[in-house]
Amino acid sequence: MKLIILDRDGVINQDSDAFVKSPDEWIALPGSLQAIARLTQADWTVVVATNQSGLARGLFDMDTLTAIHTKMRRELAAAGGSVDAVFMCPHGPDDDCTCRKPRPGMFEQIGHRYDVELAGVPAVGDSLRDLQASAAAGCSPWLVLTGNGKKTLAKGGLPDNTRVCDDLSAVADALLQDN
Ligand SMILES: [Mg+2]
Ligand SMILES: [Zn+2]
């Protein structure tokens, strides 16, 4: 199977320093839904792995997060795409869990769920911790320059094999050309 793992905020939708706390605050980035649709239609299985420490911080609850993801899935379906699953870390930075990126726990869960080797699986993010988690799990890290991406690129220290693309649409272009 062709599996791709996406960060959510700053990759699929606009990121916010104040957190995405409601469906209204979830706003797709230009072209991102269409990019996922192109991947879906080319038989890619698209999975989201997202840190959602806003849960631990009490900024929103699980019902609200479900409502946010219902909106995401509805807009994606309208664009002709789908996300197979959303994996998320509900913990805060001080919880010392194994799933919060930069740790690779969510990626390992995804590998188990789909029974795939993670080597070479593209994992797309806009923050260094996404790329670090991806690399630690053996995936291929891809940085997009949406969300925090430009800051992340400027700071440097990216995993050696990181590929850089303008946005999710450019990632889809590259993957669909490669196959
Ligand atoms: Mg992000
Ligand atoms: Zn966690």
Indicate whether 121 belongs to any domain: yes
Indicate whether 1 belongs to any domain: no
Q: Given this model, what pLDDT does residue 178 score?
A: 66
Q: What is the count of structural domains for the chain?
A: 1
> Which ligand minimizes its atom distance to the CA of 126?
1
Nearest alpha carbon to residue 107 among 4, 1, 2: 4
Give the tens place of pLDDT for each residue, 73-102: 999 999 999 999 999 999 999 999 999 999
Q: What CATH code is carried by the domain that includes residue 143?
A: 3.40.50.1000
Q: List the shell of residues around ion ligand 1, using CB closer than 5 Å.
A: 7, 9-10, 126-127
Active site positions, annotated: 7, 9
0.85 cut: is pTM over it?
A: yes
- The verdict on whether residue 166 carries a ligand-binding annotation is no
Indicate whether 4 belongs to any domain: no
Indicate whether 130 belongs to any domain: yes
Helix (H, G, I), strand (E, B) or coil at 51: strand
DSSP string for residues in 100-161: STTSSHHHHHHHHHHT---TT-EEEESSHHHHHHHHHTT-EEEEESSTTHHHHHHH----TT
Query: How many helices (H) and strands (E) would you count in the chain?
Result: 6, 6
How far does the centroid of ligand 1 lie from the alpha carbon of residue 179, in Å?
26
- The verdict on whether residue 126 carries a ligand-binding annotation is yes
Indicate whether 154 belongs to any domain: no
Indicate whether 2 belongs to any domain: no
Q: List the shell of residues around ion ligand 2, using CB closer than 5 Å.
A: 89, 91, 97, 99-100
To the nearest whole number, what is the mean pLDDT of the chain? 97
CB 27 within 8 A of CB 62: no
Residue with tokens 């997060």: 65
CB 176 within 8 A of CB 158: no
How far does the centroid of ligand 2 lie from the alpha carbon of residue 127, in Å?
17
Domain containing residue 60: 9-148+160-178
Label residue 179 by pLDDT band (50, 70, 90). Answer: low
Label residue 37 by pLDDT band (50, 70, 90). Answer: very high
Indicate whether 90 belongs to any domain: yes
Indicate whether 153 belongs to any domain: no
> Which ligand minimizes its atom distance to the CA of 149?
1
The single-letter code of the amino acid at 78 is: A
